[in-house]
Amino acid sequence: MFQKIRPAMAEVRLDPAEHAWMTDAKTREVLAALNSDGQKEDRARFVGGCVRNALLGEPVDDVDIATTLTPDETLKALEAASIKAVPTGIAHGTITAVVDGEPFEITSLRKDVETFGRRAAVAFTTDWKEDALRRDFRLNAIYASPDGALYDPFGGLDDVADRQIVFIGEARDRIGEDHLRILRFYRFNAWYGRQIDPAGHTACMEMADTLSDLSVERIWKELKKLLAAPDPSNTVKAMQEGHVLKRILTGDIDFNLFLAIINADRGKSRSPEPLVRLAALLGRDGAAMASVCEQMKASNAERDRCAAMTASADSFGVAAVRPGLGERKRSAVLYHMGPEAFSDQMRLAEAAGAGDADADLAAAAHWQKPRFPITGQDLAAAGVPRGPQMGQQLKALEAIWVDSGFTLTRASLLERLDGGTA
């Protein structure tokens, strides 16, 4: 794709036949509704991530559409076509069309009247360039007509070819309009960039203190997206060296362990795990992870996972969590920890140099926890009184059962109880 772009930039277009998201019946239904009066000029064009990713050869997940229609006109056009319309952000011009359960975000062309660092007062326009001017990066301001013709007012195609993230106009102005663009700059570099644009990086460093004006929820969301990139190491290193990372993360940084966990995954069919990578970046420090989760208002599920991946082995009642335990010991650890905590700790241990975790991770991926065959009712029937003694007996029998590799039957376990060996 990149070799094709450079020689004849003016001729570049998207071929709808090569991009199913452009020709999908649901997409066409939405476009037909917006262009229902048969005007020759496009009233609706694709924009943003779908165009960018198509040009980069990356997967397209969401289809965003820009239109010269006002929000009220958009609502009327969708309703006339019997398409469900949800006014998700109507004050800022955004309507979500839903066709057979698939959402399409449709936004009226806008220009900023006044900006406030994270939000803006906007006015609607029919000028495509004015709309492009309020976007963040040049490669995000490329529009595609339904037939694939491209409108690129700021040279975004050059940035696609170079895999470079460049602010539209002055970087400081774009950041001043929306402070979240600092993190978006680094996130897009982690996902799509080849080399960080010096001017953009300098502006982000100089304005990093404005990140304190953002909600921690938005920072947390961007940080996780950044760490989910296939290889965000160069970007994170730039953020660290530019003193941007310390604006959003408390605790000491272990960049070597962070690099190690990325390198350990390289060339393998493992999905990037942002929270595990964060644990590596913080040196597997449970207190630092807990502090970040508290600061970022992480969900309870995220807090629990972060605590489990940095907890000591004995807190789970097992001797060690490291690659190469052997099948029986591994099964016992999996039983006590569960596959998620087991896998997270294995990946961190592997990154720390404990050995290759492929076999352990494969076992965890297919793990199904066996059901302990003894219940309190079984012990009560055997004459064990309810209370602490019953709990102790259950725990002892379960330990025997796990040590057997989960092979002892209910009858065998009850016999051990009768014999007093439990």
Domain boundaries, the chain: 1-162, 170-248, 257-369, 376-418
The arithmetic mean of pLDDT across residues 379-397, rounded, is 92
* Residue recorded with tokens 């493992």: 270
On average, the pLDDT of the chain sits at: 92
Is the pLDDT at 154 greater than 50? The verdict is yes
Q: Do 1-162 and 170-248 share a fold?
A: no
The arithmetic mean of pLDDT across residues 210-229, rounded, is 97
Question: Which top CATH class is 170-248?
Answer: mainly alpha
pLDDT of residue 3: 35
CATH superfamily of 1-162: Beta Polymerase, domain 2 (3.30.460.10)
How far from chain centre, in Å, is Cα 335? 28
pLDDT of residue 6: 43
Opening angle at CA 210, ends 209 and 212, nearest 5: 80
**SS3 track for the chain:** CHHHHCCCHHHCECCHHHCHHHHCHHHHHHHHHHCCCCCCCCCEEEECHHHHHHHHCCCCCCCEEEECCCHHHHHHHHHHCCCEEEEEEHHHCEEEEEECCEEEEEEECEEEEEECCCCEEEEECCCHHHHHHCCCEHHHCCEECCCCEEECCCCHHHHHHHCCCCECCCHHHHHHHCCCHHHHHHHHHHHHCCCCCHHHHHHHHHCHHHHHHCCHHHHHHHHHHHHCCCCCHHHHHHHHHCCCHHHCCCCCCCHHHHHHHHHHHCCCCCCCCHHHHHHHHCCCCHHHHHHHHHHCCCCHHHHHHHHHHHCCHHHHCCCCCCCCCCHHHHHHHHHHHCHHHHHHHHHHHHHCCCCCCHHHHHHHHCCCCCCCCCCHHHHHHCCCCCCHHHHHHHHHHHHHHHHCCCCCCHHHHHHHHHCCCC
Q: What is the pLDDT of residues 137-146, one digit of tens each?
A: 999 999 999 9
Burial readout 23-59 (b: 16 or more C-beta within 10 A, e: otherwise): eeebbebbbebbbeeeeeebbbbbbbbbbbbbbbeee
pLDDT > 70 fraction of the chain, expressed in percent and rounded: 93
Calpha distance 378→412 (Å, rounded): 13
The arithmetic mean of pLDDT across residues 306-325, rounded, is 92
pLDDT of residue 118: 55
Q: Is there a contact between 245 and 183 (Cβ–Cβ < 8 Å)?
A: no
Q: Is there a contact between 181 and 200 (Cβ–Cβ < 8 Å)?
A: no
Calpha distance 218→118 (Å, rounded): 10
Most confident of 110-114, 116-120, 372-376: 372-376
Top-confidence residue, 58 or 320: 58
Of 184, 193, 190, 191, nearest in space to 222 by CA: 184
